[in-house]
């Protein structure tokens, strides 16, 4: 049942429409009117999808995409411009160093390896916002990373199963 | 597809160069936006790009409220109509009362020579959605710089003060709520008249009343209203209700927790009061600044004698 990209034969590159569609869905999920605790622990949809394509299609979803979607996140959250762009760029740098290694794992192992990335993203954001506006988030906010890692387990199903059914 | 075939040789700048460039760019954006607030054009541009997605994201909730309106029956509407008429009657009576009072007040103020008038001009708007940010408590409302809204304007609902406009976009504006950690409102305890200021807690519509000595009289259930000090918020607007009064670790001050009166986040009407302009504010502060100097002069003349 576990999907691993190495066990499938050489894959065709994902169609551009698929990449754009998933990113658009992630942006809309982020912009849904969440409130209260749901808002605090809501998984970082944009980062999950960016990481997925950053691993599988690094030529399309590259550093520029991470930076631009970071700016989108900043404006969507109406935080100081550049906060998410900065942390997403750090994540992409790390990702491109460990990409080949992460590709060899099953989804569950990948989730374990990406959990630090999600946590690092949150730590960087919390640090910058603490420096700029001296506010710290509720501690429950860090649950977001764990939920994002759990969501990583089903991301390949959501993206790839549709992909194969479409191509066949 | 041919453009995305794997290349044998990497093209363009090396990874470390590109990523450090992005990091520097992001740092530059953070510093400029935080200290100089000069990136509004970029923010507007990105905001406009996100606008269609925001509309789609708001569709489910707006559809729900629309269908709820469609299926509300006649009995409910009649009952609501009756209730609204009663409320209007009550409001009209209290306005008559208020007009008399404000007339008397104006006469008294003219007698003493204080200028206590506030701009009561207001614009009506509607909440769009709660801003998605775990660090701040913010709302988006309809209308922005095209409606001549101003940054700093107090925003009120029928229940009381909800916050202040902090960011303007062409057709919408961002309101920072009283419960935000960075917003302070000068308040007054309606029962005792004790004056202090608030500081938002950042979650669940809560805020604290700061620096209230343990000797002062504060009870659970006390109404907090804006005191009008500072000149930004008109006096007497309800802000919240005290829900707990505790003392922590022999501190000299109470920890007073209050809940804001508003709970509505979407699709509700609110009024934007125009902020007092600087000229009026300066005029108010003037007498206070002059008084000590005149006293000093008297002292000097006395010394000379």
Check which CATH number belongs to the domain holding B131 and give it.
Answer: 2.40.10.340
Return the higher-pLDDT residue of A147 and B266.
A147
Residue A119 covered by a domain:
yes
Sorted by sequence, the CB contacts under 8 Å of residue A37 that are 6+ apart come out as A140
Query: What average pLDDT does range A30-40 have in this prediction?
Result: 79
Return the higher-pLDDT residue of A120 and A36.
A120
Residue B303 covered by a domain:
no
Local confidence band at B4 (pLDDT 50, 70, 90 cut-offs): low
Return the higher-pLDDT residue of A43 and B248.
A43
Q: In chain A, how many domains are there?
A: 1
Domain extent for B239: 121-277
* pLDDT per position as a tens digit, B148-189: 888 888 888 877 888 899 888 888 898 998 888 888 899 988
Q: Where are the alpha helices (DSSP H) in B32-73?
A: 40-70
**Start-to-end Cα distance in chain B:** 98
Residue B304 covered by a domain:
no
Instruction: Name the 3-class secondary structure at B136.
Output: coil
CA distance B47 to B42: 8
pLDDT score recorded for residue A84: 93
**A156 in contact with B, Cβ within 8 Å:** no
Query: What average pLDDT does range B250-259 have in this prediction?
Result: 87
Q: Which of A10, A72, A80 to mutate to test the interface with B (most CBs of B within 10 A)?
A: A80
Considering only CB atoms, which chain A residues are within 8 Å of B165? none
Residue B110 covered by a domain:
no
Q: Tell me how crowded residue B114 is: count the other CB atoms within 10 A of its CB.
A: 11
Instruction: State yes or no: pLDDT of B101 exceeds 50.
Output: yes
> CB distance B4–A33 less than 8 Å?
no
**Most confident listed range (A87-96, A155-164, B109-118, B120-129):** A87-96
Residue B77 covered by a domain:
no
**B54 in contact with A, Cβ within 8 Å:** yes
> CB distance A77–B57 less than 8 Å?
no
**Token representation of residue B162:** 């909800």
pLDDT score recorded for residue B294: 46
Considering only CB atoms, which chain B residues are within 8 Å of A80? 30, 33-34
Nearest residue to B227 via CA among B285, B292, B272, B161: B161
Residue A2 covered by a domain:
no
Q: How far is B168 from chain A (nearest CA, A)?
A: 11
CA distance B158 to A160: 51
Residue B84 covered by a domain:
no
Residue A162 covered by a domain:
yes
Query: What average pLDDT does range A152-160 have in this prediction?
Result: 83
* pLDDT per position as a tens digit, B278-302: 555 555 555 444 444 444 444 444 4
Asked if residue A132 lies in contact with residue B36, where contact means CB atoms within 8 angstroms, the answer is no
**Token representation of residue A135:** 């506010």
Instruction: State yes or no: pLDDT of B192 exceeds 60.
Output: yes
pLDDT score recorded for residue A145: 93
Instruction: State yes or no: pLDDT of B119 exceeds 60.
Output: no
**A17 in contact with B, Cβ within 8 Å:** no
pLDDT score recorded for residue A68: 93
Residue B215 covered by a domain:
yes
pLDDT score recorded for residue B266: 59
pLDDT score recorded for residue B146: 86
Instruction: State yes or no: pLDDT of B114 exceeds 60.
Output: no
**How far is CA A104 from each of CA A8, A96, A99, rounded to the nearest angstrom?**
11, 14, 9
Instruction: State yes or no: pLDDT of B109 exceeds 90.
Output: no
Could you give the angle at which helices A16-31 and A45-56 cross, rounded to 10 degrees? 160
pLDDT score recorded for residue B270: 85
pLDDT score recorded for residue A159: 78
* pLDDT per position as a tens digit, A70-86: 999 988 888 888 999 99
Residue A138 covered by a domain:
yes
Sorted by sequence, the CB contacts under 8 Å of residue B33 that are 6+ apart come out as A80, A81, A82, B39, B43
Instruction: Name the 3-class secondary structure at B234.
Output: coil
Q: In chain B, how many domains are there?
A: 1
**Most confident listed range (A19-28, A32-41, A132-141, B95-104):** A19-28
Return the higher-pLDDT residue of B3 and B92.
B92
Residue B283 covered by a domain:
no
Domain extent for A54: 16-31+41-167
A contact residues 92-131, partner B, Cβ 8 Å cutoff: 92-93, 96, 128-129
pLDDT score recorded for residue B251: 82
Q: How far is A117 from chain B (nearest CA, A)?
A: 16
Considering only CB atoms, which chain A residues are within 8 Å of B57? 28-29, 31-33
Query: What average pLDDT does range B16-26 have in this prediction?
Result: 90
Sorted by sequence, the CB contacts under 8 Å of residue B29 that are 6+ apart come out as A81, A82, A85, B39, B42
Instruction: State yes or no: pLDDT of B246 exceeds 50.
Output: yes
Query: What average pLDDT does range B72-88 have in this prediction?
Result: 86
Residue A8 covered by a domain:
no
State percent of chain B over pLDDT 90: 6
Residue B112 covered by a domain:
no
B contact residues 260-299, partner A, Cβ 8 Å cutoff: 265-266
Asked if residue B165 lies in contact with residue B152, where contact means CB atoms within 8 angstroms, the answer is yes
Return the higher-pLDDT residue of A54 and B61.
A54
Instruction: State yes or no: pLDDT of B147 exceeds 60.
Output: yes
Local confidence band at B271 (pLDDT 50, 70, 90 cut-offs): confident
Rounded to the nearest integer, the mean pLDDT of chain B is: 79
Give me the residues paired with residue B242 across strands: B258
Residue A7 covered by a domain:
no
Instruction: State yes or no: pLDDT of B220 exceeds 80.
Output: yes
Q: How far is B207 from chain A (nearest CA, A)?
A: 14
């Amino acid at each position: 049942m576990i999907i691993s990209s190495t066990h499938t034969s050489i894959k065709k590159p994902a169609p551009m429409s698929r990449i754009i569609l998933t990113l658009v869905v992630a942006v809309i999920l982020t912009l849904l009117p969440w409130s209260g605790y749901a808002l605090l622990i809501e998984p970082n949809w944009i980062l999950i999808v960016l990481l997925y394509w950053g691993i599988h299609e690094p030529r399309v979803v590259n550093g520029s995409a991470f930076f631009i979607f970071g700016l989108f996140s900043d404006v969507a959250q109406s935080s100081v411009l550049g906060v998410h762009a900065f942390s997403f760029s750090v994540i992409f740098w790390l990702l491109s160093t460990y990409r080949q290694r992460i590709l060899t794992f099953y989804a569950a192992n990948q989730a374990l390896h990406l959990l630090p990335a999600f946590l690092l993203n949150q730590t960087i954001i919390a640090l910058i916002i603490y420096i700029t506006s001296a506010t710290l988030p509720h501690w429950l906010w860090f649950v977001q990373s764990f939920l994002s890692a759990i969501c990583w387990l089903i991301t390949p199903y959501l993206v790839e199963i549709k992909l194969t059914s479409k191509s066949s | 597809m041919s453009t995305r075939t794997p290349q044998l040789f990497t093209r363009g700048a090396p990874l470390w160069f590109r990523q450090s460039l992005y990091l520097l760019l992001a740092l530059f954006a953070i510093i400029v936006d935080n200290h100089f607030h000069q990136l509004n054009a970029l923010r507007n541009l990105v905001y406009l790009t996100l606008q269609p997605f925001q509309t789609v994201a708001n569709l489910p909730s707006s559809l729900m409220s629309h269908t709820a309106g469609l299926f509300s029956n006649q009995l409910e509407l009649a009952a609501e109509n009756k209730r609204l008429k009663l409320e209007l009657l009550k409001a009209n009576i209290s306005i008559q009362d208020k007009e008399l009072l404000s007339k008397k007040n104006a006469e008294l103020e003219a007698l003493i020579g204080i200028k206590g008038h506030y701009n009561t001009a207001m614009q009506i708007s509607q909440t769009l959605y709660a801003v998605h940010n775990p660090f701040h408590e913010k709302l988006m409302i309809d209308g922005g710089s095209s409606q001549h809204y101003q940054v700093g304007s107090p925003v009120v609902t029928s229940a009381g003060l909800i916050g202040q406009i902090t960011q303007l976009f062409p057709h919408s504006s961002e309101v920072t709520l009283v419960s935000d950690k960075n917003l302070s409102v000068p308040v007054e305890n309606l029962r005792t008249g004790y004056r202090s200021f608030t500081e938002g807690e950042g979650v669940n519509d809560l805020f604290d009343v700061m620096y209230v000595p343990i000797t002062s009289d504060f009870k659970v259930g006390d109404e907090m209203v804006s005191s009008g000090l500072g000149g930004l918020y008109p006096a007497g607007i309800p802000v919240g209700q005290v829900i707990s009064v505790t003392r922590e670790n022999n501190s000299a001050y109470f920890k007073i927790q209050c809940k804001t009166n508003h709970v509505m986040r979407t699709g509700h009407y609110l009024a934007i009061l125009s902020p007092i302009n600087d000229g009026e504010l300066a005029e108010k502060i003037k007498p206070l600044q002059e008084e000590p100097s005149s006293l000093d002069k008297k002292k000097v003349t006395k010394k000379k004698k």
